[in-house]
Structure 1
């Protein structure tokens, strides 16, 4: 390969890799057309299965566990079209004839799911009662009653109930920020500000997407990501919802939908503000300009998760400002440890990927904020 061709090859490879980094966050319709990314072939450390693939996030979930040393061996989905696309993506995985077939396979240690949100907790309970661990797309739980049931069964069985908070676990800049905060780069964390805008694209969404009862509400759904990050970066073990509000300000044709929400949190390690919405304009070259600002006593970090508007290409941008410097970091080459750590936890019965109580507390905050949220009508304000 001559020098010119080599440079072209490397440029194209990097561009392709950067584009694929967004796979876990794409809508189902967009995700299905993108080829799978697999870790180098090594002996599998665990065998895992999939039940329910109603959201495209399942592909990011599978890839995370595969990178961590898992082997996908079987899956079940009741929808023929979704099952056919998944089978094409993962031809080596057996398509099971029923949920029961996957649950009763004694060789499988971990079950993944992105089933319709209000069905995720009941499925997780069945998984844990079958002696298996569970990793589910967010929101993993859509009501406080479901949370109580999941807590009870998890405590009884000792199994793992892990929610894939992909905006932290699968975003390399956010992973890097965790390392910097732990190293004391900005002193003691005081507050986090999490912004989670998303693109609507109504024609690509299934019916359940517009039904609050099915998806749990905008704070329960998208806001759970930011609740997780608030707890993680402030180190809070206890927290409360100070105020919250939600609204449907632009989509009257979907009366059970919410397109805006925000909330304030107070924890024993810091404070937090969160805003989530479905107003990403089509002119943006990303599904959402997700941002996280972490304020510390000695500086701050700002993360542009998916795009640096009118700036650098790609995602995973981190800006660090402290008493010594102002610094930009391209985090696109950072490792993503969640999948590997979760496989470790399945094997070793540890909590290195995410403490179980952290998972439940982040969910509890989102559910309580959703429950107590005031409904706003900007047209009457």
Structure 2
């Protein structure tokens, strides 16, 4: 039980998807958890770029910093308005320089990349400022919360040729999902026909800041956690064109938060496959992690099921992969695998390539989630 507790707290502080901690909760956890081993920045890779952080309202920032650091990035500066969030961040990264204005980072020509996990509705405009100042940009998801912001981001990105990337951690930071990509590419299940993505999350209401419950700030349930699934649908089907067939959203069990949504689902049709997505905030407290996230990839010659965070009947660890094809039925524990995203992103920044994720893929995944959110039918259950 103690190991489970430590792992939960560590993941909360280092970017487990779906956990948004209020300043007071973060500070309290930090003060009481001296035995938590937060991963250190990998030092066996010589820094290839310098990066900084602006905005740390979501704990995903810790996982983002670690990913870029593993890939050869050097964290040099941070700006945040919230003193308690900043104090916690500096405690984890004491080498970082604290600045009093974001302009100190935006106008520093030695910095190539800016990371943010600020309030979701403000991320796009920060990214625009970053690109206009010659910086590449990595946002926590959702990286953009309105179609109007998406249009402006696309325009500025095209003009500046900067990278505007979004940390879709359910793919980039889950080892089983990475392995599934390799298996699909190798033809292990034939041609992909459909993906089914399930993104259940635990509410943890007391740990949430006010903005988390305001749709105008978090973007809506499909814009937010549904964006992960849109990314995976495009990636595994290989679709470069896609449309929303149908979508629905609702707040069916949290009337105390009238601007919140706790359920959403949608169907997608791409030029190379189809997809179904369900996201919700109904994970019960009895589960040992923040959500039993699953992805099923159906192919013409088999299928893959990923149990991302836990395998409830067998094991508490995540990164579980099941492969079934014409040759075998196989379980693969992917916990020993590596995560390539950070290194690929740094490569792209240095070489001006698109190995981590193409820009058009990033924008299309975002567009699908935004359209599904905007045009969703309202679900009202009695």
Q: TM-score normalised to the size of structure 1?
A: 0.93
How do residues 10-89 of structure 1 correspond to structure 2 at under 5 angstroms?
Answer: 23-25=14-16, 27-29=19-21, 33=30, 34-37=36-39, 38-89=41-92
How do residues 3-14 of structure 1 correspond to structure 2 at under 5 angstroms?
Answer: none
Q: How many residues align?
A: 368
Q: Which residue of 2 aligns with 1:3?
A: none
- Report the 3-state secondary structure (helix = DSSP H, G, I; strand = E; otherwise coil) of the residue aligned with 2:15: helix
Q: Deviations over 1:155-205 (max 9, x none)?
A: 000000000000000000000000000000000000000000000011110
How do residues 175-194 of structure 1 correspond to structure 2 at under 5 angstroms?
Answer: 175-194=178-197
Q: 2:273 aligns with which of 270, 274, 298?
A: 270
Distance in 1, Cα, partners of 2:105 & 2:124: 17
Distance in 2, Cα, partners of 1:19 & 1:245: 33
User: Structure 1 residues 145 and 278 mapped into 2: Cα distance closer, same or farther (>3 Å)?
Assistant: same
Aligned-residue Cα RMSD (Å) equals: 1.9
Distance in 2, Cα, partners of 1:132 & 1:225: 24
Distance in 1, Cα, partners of 2:5 & 2:341: 24
Distance in 1, Cα, partners of 2:219 & 2:127: 16
Q: Cα offset for 1:101?
A: 0.5
How do residues 192-207 of structure 1 correspond to structure 2 at under 5 angstroms?
Answer: 192-207=195-210
Asked whether the 8 Å contact 1:35–1:89 carries over to 2, the reply is: no
Q: 1:229 aligns with which of 220, 229, 232?
A: 232
Q: 1:346 aligns with which of 325, 334, 349?
A: 349
Q: 1:260 aligns with which of 237, 258, 263?
A: 263
Q: Deviations over 1:123-155 (max 9, x none)?
A: 000000000000000000000000000000000
Distance in 2, Cα, partners of 1:354 & 1:266: 21
- Report the 3-state secondary structure (helix = DSSP H, G, I; strand = E; otherwise coil) of the residue aligned with 2:196: strand
Q: Cα offset for 1:272?
A: 0.1
Q: Which runs of 5+ in 1 are unaligned?
A: 1-11
User: Structure 1 residues 19 and 248 mapped into 2: Cα distance closer, same or farther (>3 Å)?
Assistant: closer
Distance in 1, Cα, partners of 2:298 & 2:10: 30
Q: Cα offset for 1:258?
A: 0.1
Q: TM-score normalised to the size of structure 2?
A: 0.93
Q: Which runs of 5+ in 2 are unaligned?
A: 31-35
User: Structure 1 residues 149 and 183 mapped into 2: Cα distance closer, same or farther (>3 Å)?
Assistant: same
Q: Cα offset for 1:28?
A: 4.2
Distance in 2, Cα, partners of 1:336 & 1:164: 13
